[in-house]
Each structure stands twice: as C-alpha cells, then as structure tokens.
Structure 1
C-alpha cells in the first residue's frame, strides 16, 4: 500500500508542485536565517564601541511595515559612519567586523527588494541622535524583529 500511495502521489502534478514549493521555501528560510544570525553575531562583537565618539541618527521602527526598507537604509548609512570612524582608531578587527555587518546587511537584506513608500516614512535625519553603543543596540533589536517575523 505504501508503494501505491507513493507512486500515485508522484504522478499527481499538484502534489509534486506543492512539494517543490515547500522545499524551496524551507531553503529560502534557512538562507535568511543564516544571514541574519551572522549579522547579529557581528553586531554583538562590536556592541561596545567606546572608541567611537559619534552620535548617530538612530531609527525607531514604527507600526508601519512599509517603512522597514527605509529604516534598514538608515541603519546602513549610519553603519557606514561607524566604519569610516573605525579607520581612525586603527583597530582592524573592529573595522573588519563593521564591514562584515555592512556587507551582510546590504547584500542579503530582507527588506531591500520591498517597495519603499518614502512619503509616509520618516527621513533618517529626523530620528534622534544616540551614542554609538545605543545605536548598535537598536540596530540589533531591529534585526531581531526581522528574524522573528521569519519564524
């Protein structure tokens, strides 16, 4: 009976299509989980950036899900400031870790392909300025929010 069920299921086009779609979605989910966890691990390594004495525009995620791309872009722009500043403290490990975060988030951002309705989204420069350590905490929180939305 098992072989009959298996052979009849594989001959059924909708069943095969559903199986392939489920396998693809699981693969995409695992890929995004890996990128987000890598970014989180790097953020934890640079969380204490006491050497960087900069105030950064720190985005706050609002209820509007259409602004995720805009908020991510703000975090990326301010991470570029941290990376620029890190070149002057001559700590290559710190600088490389910041660069890893930038690369990971730029290349594999879950919100980069979403349409960005900037007319309803807050501009980066209108967010409050926070010290580097607070900025990194908020960025980590934002990535964790994206991570939990995938689960």
Structure 2
C-alpha cells in the first residue's frame, strides 16, 4: 500500500487471505516503525523497494505536487514482474503512459484505475486508445495464471 497518511487511528486491514505479507510505504508518516510493529505490517523504506517486493500495489494518496506522477516509469522499472496495480488515489498519481508501457512488457499484469488523469477519458492516451480499440496484448507471463487462480480461489493450471 502506498499512502501518505491514514484517516483515523488504524491502517486499513488487509483484505487478502492469510498467509500473506502486507507491506506499506509512506513518506509523510512519522514513527513508522511503531506503526509497523503495532499492526503487524512490514514497512518498505522506499517506493522502489515496495514495488520490487509486492504482487499487488494499492495507491491511496492525495494529489499534490509531490505525488503527481509518483507511480511512473521509475517505479515500474523497480516493480516485480507480473504485479497488479490498483489506483484509488487521484488519477495523475499514476502515470498512465508509463503504466501502458509497463503493461505491454508484462511488468504490470493488470490495473484497476478508479479515476483517470483526465475525465472524461482522453482517447489520445495510449492506454485509453488500446482499451477502446481492444488492442492485442502480449501473452501474459506464467505468473498470470497463478494470480488469476488466487483471485478466483483455484489452483493454477499445470
């Protein structure tokens, strides 16, 4: 989870079955070690570290000058191959042009975008155009079937 702060006194509870490891990264929270030990979550020291370790990355930040484009080409270059990105932050926090490239090279297996950088959707953006045109994608990596199985509670093929 990428977050700048938590509303209230507790972080969101992980909603994945155990055993799993929940990792978070924040540049604004103080006393990060105490938060990690109190809630039994692992803290990444940087976005690159988080992206390189996690199968699922969920973004929850406000849009500021500091967070605009936060998850872009540099973050995807550090990402674990076959990851899934969820952006419930404001649209421009994730660079969808860099996301398109990361999806085309199978770094990002799937993405859930709550909002886009421009609303209504800008058909000039490669990711939007690919979606509108039902563009063919590279064959998914072998981890794709395992991820699909996890999401649908079944064993991967093979």
> TM class by shorter-chain length?
under 0.3
Whose helix fraction is larger, Structure 1's or Structure 2's? 1
What TM-score, normalized to structure 2?
0.22
The answer to which structure, 1 or 2, has the higher relative contact order (CA under 8 A, 6+ apart) is 1
Report the structure number with the largest CA radius of gyration: 1
